[in-house]
Amino acid sequence: MAKSLLSQLKQMTTVVADTGDLDAIRRFRPHDATTNPSLILQAAQQEDRRERLARIAGESRDLDEALDRVAVDIGSEISALIPGYVSTEVSARLSFDREATVARAHSLIEHYRQAGVDPERILIKIASTWEGIQAATQLEREGIQTNLTLLFGFTQAKACADAGATLISPFVGRILDWHKARNPEADFSGQRDPGVISVKQIHDHFKANGYSTVVMGASFRNTDEIQALAGCDRLTISPKLLGELEEQTGTLARQLSATGAGTSTEDAASLDEATFRWQMNEDAMADEKLAEGIRKFMADQRRLETLLGELGHKG
CB-neighbour burial class of residue 140 (10 A; exposed 0-12, middle 13-18, buried 19+):
middle
Rg from Cα positions in the chain = 19
Closest CA to 88 of 76, 103, 100, 102: 76
Identity at 228, one-letter amino acid code: A
169 phi, psi to nearest 5 deg: -120, 80
Name which of 84, 118, 85, 125 is nearest 104 in CA terms.
Answer: 125
- d(Cα 95, Cα 131) in Å, to the nearest integer? 7
Task: Identify the sign of the CA torsion 96, 99, 102, 108.
Answer: negative
Based on the number of CB atoms within 10 Å of its own CB, is 19 exposed (0-12), middle (13-18) or buried (19 or more)? buried
Cα angle 87, 228, 145 (rounded to 5 degrees) comes to 20
Q: Rounded to an integer, what distance in angstroms lies between the CA atom of residue 72 and that of residue 87?
A: 10
Neighbours of 29 (CB within 10 A): 14
The type of residue at 78 is I
Q: 3, 125, 240, 314: which one is catalytic?
A: 125
Helical ranges in 93-215 per DSSP H:
98-114, 130-141, 154-162, 173-182, 194-208
In whole angstroms, give the CA distance from residue 108 to residue 91. Answer: 11
Known active-site residue 3: no
Q: Which residues are tagged catalytic?
A: 125
